[in-house]
Amino acid sequence: MTAPLGRRLALTMTGFGVLAMAAVVTAPLVGSTSISLRRAFSTTVPFADNPDAQIFFIARLPRTLAGALVGSMLASSGVVFQGLLRNPLATPFTLGVSAGAALGAMLAITFGWTFAFAGIAAAPAPSFVGSLAAVAIVYALARARHRGLSTNVLLLAGVTMNAFFSALILFVQYFANFSETYRILHWLMGDLDISSYEPIVTALPLVALSLAVFAWLARPLNLLSLDTESAATRGLDVPRAQRAAFLSASLATGAAVSVGGPIGFIGIVVPHLVRLLVGPDHRLVLPASALFGAAFLIACDVVARTVMAPIELPVGVITALVGGPFFLWLLVRKR
């Protein structure tokens, strides 16, 4: 840690930036079908006559971009939640956001509530609404007892929400028939095959806002690592920072889940790996996690759709297969 921060930041951004760019550029080139790139990019063949182009631009490219969006949002909001709760084991799903999203998606799938607008499929909008509801409840509970935001109450409220929503999910489960149950399961394991750019475009403003707030939060999160009092006496407006952290990370998670479903392990594997590489300073960890999270999920998705072609594994299974052993290794190596 001897090099000045400015230089380390530049190095980190470049290194991880290259990694993310490489992932975005190479992933659409790979797939279960072999296509001719020349034909895909041909300007003479009309799009409607060009299956190679359609595979590239409808099947693979939106999927890659969705992977980048979801991966970066889940990884960076994982970092923010870990900083907010002062616990490296916190995940974007600890506080009930994904349970709310899951309930929203389930209700949509089971009872056929469709908000099919702007070409977005049924589940995303209700799942986002569900995640907002969960966030609102947890936030209200945490603030009820405190002028500021008690992280202990936050944690308790989040865990309670998870349990409560899980019970509701079981209840809705009962009304679902075969096909609905299958589709819910499928959604729960993650699906980046969005086949259209609309979900990405719709989520983009929220992503941009979250990233801006995360950038601002980097140093406050460092201070919060001491403890809230020490952060306050060093001049940090602690309640404001906690509110900003909670709301931005929750919204980012909600957006990510509404695009690709609740894909697990990214929010905890990526931050841990990144910290091992660049140290604990959030000004490095946050951007690096966003970039590495994008690359990581894109890579997992490539594996998911090619390893057993033409059968496709759910991407959440791949992230779990990578994340599980990684976790065990982390636990074992800890002092």
Shortest reach from residue 28's CB to other proteins, in Å: 10
Q: Which residues contact 229 (CB under 8 A, 6 or more apart)?
A: none
DSSP code of residue 116: -
Residue 131 vs 191, nearer CB to other proteins: 191
Tokens in use for 137? 């409840």
- Judge whether 149 and 239 are in contact, CB under 8 Å: yes
Shortest reach from residue 86's CB to other proteins, in Å: 4
Residue 50 vs 72, nearer CB to other proteins: 50
Shortest reach from residue 107's CB to other proteins, in Å: 13
Residue 120 vs 298, nearer CB to other proteins: 120
- Judge whether 141 and 256 are in contact, CB under 8 Å: no
Q: What angle do CA 237, 239, 241 make, to 5 degrees?
A: 65
Shortest reach from residue 209's CB to other proteins, in Å: 17
Shortest reach from residue 162's CB to other proteins, in Å: 7
DSSP code of residue 147: S
Shortest reach from residue 187's CB to other proteins, in Å: 7
DSSP string, 78-115: HHHHHHHTT-TT--TTTTSHHHHHHHHHHHHHHHT---
Q: In angstroms, rounded to a whole number, what is the distance separating the alpha carbons of residues 240 and 245?
A: 9
Q: Which amino acid is at 278?
A: V
Residue 171 vs 329, nearer CB to other proteins: 171
Residue 102 vs 270, nearer CB to other proteins: 102
First to last CA, the chain: 22
Q: Which residues contact 64 (CB under 8 A, 6 or more apart)?
A: 23, 24, 27, 28, 298, 301
- 265 — alpha (psi -120 to 50), left (phi > 0) or beta? left
Shortest reach from residue 188's CB to other proteins, in Å: 5
* Residue whose pair of structure tokens reads 């149950």 in the numeric block: 181
Residue 16 vs 283, nearer CB to other proteins: 283
Residue 60 vs 133, nearer CB to other proteins: 60
Q: In angstroms, rounded to a whole number, what is the distance separating the alpha carbons of residues 260 and 174?
A: 24
- Judge whether 74 and 92 are in contact, CB under 8 Å: yes
Shortest reach from residue 235's CB to other proteins, in Å: 3
Shortest reach from residue 51's CB to other proteins, in Å: 4
Residue 136 vs 146, nearer CB to other proteins: 146
Residue 1 vs 332, nearer CB to other proteins: 1
Q: Which residues contact 9 (CB under 8 A, 6 or more apart)?
A: 283, 284, 287
What is the sign, positive or negative, of the torsion defined by CA atoms of 299, 270, 284, 80? positive
* Residue whose pair of structure tokens reads 């919204």 in the numeric block: 251
